[in-house]
Structure 1
Amino acid sequence: MKLLLAPMEGLLDFVLRDVLTRVGGADRCVSEFIRITGSLLPDKVYLRTMPELRNGSRTLAGVPVRAQLLGSDPASMADNAANLARLGPEGIDLNFGCPAKVVNRHGGGASLLQDPEQIARVVAAVRQAVPAQLPVSAKMRLGFNDRLKMIECARAMEDGGACEIVVHARTKLDGYRPPAYWEEIPRIREAVSVPVVANGEIWTVQDALRCREVSGCDDLMLGRGIVADPGLALAIRAAVARQGGGAAPQAAAIGWPQLVPQVQRFWQMVCEDLEPRQRAGRLKQWLNLMRRRFAEAEAAYQEVRTQTDQRAISAWVAALPQRDLACEWAWPESPATADCPAPADPAA
């Protein structure tokens, strides 16, 4: 079984990839998409989205990261893929699933699911442009407005040279509304010979087990579910091992006390690597998702959700291990400051 971390624009970036792969359980990550619109991008654009390229295309925990490209012009995609290949990514993934209107309006992402022939041209151009040993994979949805062409699209990806296909089991029209239609994935699996990975609405261990059973896929891609519960991949591995009659991995359950050092590291990286205007929002965004799983995250979110002062937030984050979140935090009255210090001694 392989468990992959999904590419999620504006959420699962290099900061969360670092934190989540430190918690453990993931076999591979995929970067957020790098948009290709016609020009040859400079190296700094690839590195901004995927700084792991400076570390052998791995997170600091050692988990490989595959770079994702989004575009519809075969020649531009090929040129940029070849340029990116110089930087040594673990592989290149092609985005045929993004439902964003601004992306679809310009012919990228899920909009290509209306044109299987163009998908085949894009995949083939990229496959031919990069070294033979470099994996080229693809991610798709079940379709644009309907599922009528999903088999054609999957075959087009395989025919173009994709070595693996991740299927987000919803159409573009479905967006992110539940449910995910895992029962459609077996039709795609039967139509292609390359590995197929199931994705969509995997929030819990029970979801993962049912997705594997319904889709027939051994391998899963985790998105918002693992952001909400960073121990999800480890818990899935333990459950699958027990289901198969084997010994479960010797790992303690990941509870809030084990996550506090990761919240501290997350805030440290946010302060070091993101623009000041983004920092408080990113912490609130993560806590907001984690409160689905942890009562302590709910309390933390309620404490921090109205705060914008970065020095005050840093003091709050640094104090987390010593504090009972049931007690109200006395926020200092201080003017907004430009930068924030790193939390004291964040755990590695």
Structure 2
Amino acid sequence: MQIALAPMEGLVDDILRDVLTGVGGVDWCVTEFIRVSDRLLPASSFHRLAPELQNGAATRAGTPLRVQLLGSDPLCLADNAAFACSLGAPAIDLNFGCPAKTVNKSRGGAILLNEPELLHSILSEVRKAVPAAIPVTAKMRLGFDSKDGALDCARALADGGAAQLVVHARTKVEGYKPPAHWEWVARVKDVVDVPVFANGDIWSVDDWRRCREVSGVENIMLGRGLVCRPDLARQIEAAKAGELLEPISWDALQPLLADFWRQARRKMSPRYAPGRFKQWISLLTRTYPQAVTMFAQVRRENDCERLDALLGLDVNAPGFKAAI
């Protein structure tokens, strides 16, 4: 069984990837999508969303990072994928699942699920351009507004050269509304000869057990479930081994929050760091009642120094350097 951390644009950046993979249980993670349109992007575009490329393409915990590309031009995607590999990417992931309207309007993400022939062409060109030792993987939904073409899309991706498929078990139109249709992951698994990962609505160990039973797959990708419950991957690992792992307590979570905030202060401007911190606290309210109290405290606070004090961080401590 492998457990992956999902790429979530605007949420799981390099900071949150670092903190969450540091908890343990995650086998690999993926960048936010790098938008490819009509040109070869400069190295700075890759390093901005994947700074780990300058550190062995892994998080501080050693978790490997895949670079995800999004676009519709097969040759342009192929050129950028090859360049990403030259920068150190150990794997290339292709996004065919993003439901954002702005992305879909510019022929990116889930809208391409209406064109299985194009999916095959993209995979084929990228596979040809990328060194043979570097895998090319893909993330898809069950369709744009219908599941009717899901199996054709999965076959197109696998036949084009995808080494793995991650299936978010909903259509674009269904967005993130429950339920996730894990039974369709089972159908995809039956028509391709590559490993399939189930993604969607895995919030707990019990959800994982149900997903495994319904989908018939062992591999999973965790998104919001891991963001809301940072030790969920470790809990699932323990359950797989027949053990029970006590969930991480709110008190034990405090060093992770402090680490996240410290990194945000170092890397982000004071204008944006508070919002990113509050975003994570808001999501933690799903699991921790204490997060509700903390969110109420920080909701209207945009002063970084006052947030430092709230978290008990000493900005004058050795090694602490905030962004300007």
TM-score interval, normalised by the smaller of the two chains: over 0.9
Match of 1:136 in 2: 136
So what's the TM-score if we normalise by structure 1?
0.89
Q: Identify which of 221, 244, 248 aligns with 1:254.
A: 248
Q: Give the superposition deviation at 1:342.
A: 7.2
Alignment-mate amino acid for residue 70 of structure 1? L
Equivalent residue runs for 1:311-322 within 5 Å: 311-318=305-312
* 1:219 equivalent in structure 2: 219
Return the offset for 1:205.
Answer: 1.0
How far did residue 88 of structure 1 move? 1.1
Q: Mapping of 1:1-348 within 5 angstroms?
A: 1-242=1-242, 248=243, 253-318=247-312, 341=315
Give per-residue Cα distances to partners, 1:19-68, cap 9 Å, x unaligned. 00111110100111000011110001000001110111100110001000
Q: 1:121 & 1:281 partners in 2: Cα distance? A: 40
> For 2:81 and 2:270, how far apart are their aligned partners in 1?
32
Counterpart-to-counterpart distance in 1, 2:280 and 2:71: 29
1:239: Cα distance to partner?
1.3
- Alignment RMSD: 1.6
TM-score norm. by structure 2 comes to 0.96
Deviation of the 1:345 alpha carbon: 8.7
Paired residue type of 1:170: R
Give, in whole Å, the separation in 2 of the partners of 1:153 and 1:303.
Answer: 46
Distance 2:109 2:206 in 1: 30
**AA paired with 1:280?**
P
Shift of 1:276: 2.2
Instruction: Measure, in 2, the Cα distance between the counterparts of 1:276 and 1:266.
Output: 14
CA distance in 2, matches of 1:124, 1:49: 25
- Secondary structure at 1:217 match in 2: coil
Larger radius of gyration: 1
Deviation per residue, 1:174-210 (Å, 9 max, x gap):
0111111111111110000000000001111111111
Distance across 2 between alignment mates of 1:342 and 1:232: 34
**After TM superposition, which residue ranges in structure 1, 4 or more long, deviate above 4 angstroms?**
342-346
Instruction: Determine helix, strand or coil for the equivalent of 1:283.
Output: helix
Distance (Å, rounded) in 1 between the aligned partners of 2:114 and 2:254: 45
For the Cα contact (< 8 Å) 1:70–1:109, is it kept in 2? Answer: yes
Question: Identity of counterpart residues, as a percentage?
Answer: 50
Mapped partners of 2:316, 2:122: distance in 1: 44
Change (3 A) 1:97 1:344: same
Paired with 2:267 and 2:20, the residues of 1 have a C-alpha distance of 17
- Mapped partners of 1:220, 1:272: distance in 2: 32
- CA deviation string 1:244-277 (max 9, x = no partner): xxxx38x653111221111001001111112322
Cα distance in 2 for residues equivalent to 1:216 and 1:228: 25
Distance across 2 between alignment mates of 1:102 and 1:282 = 22
- How many residue pairs end up in the alignment? 320
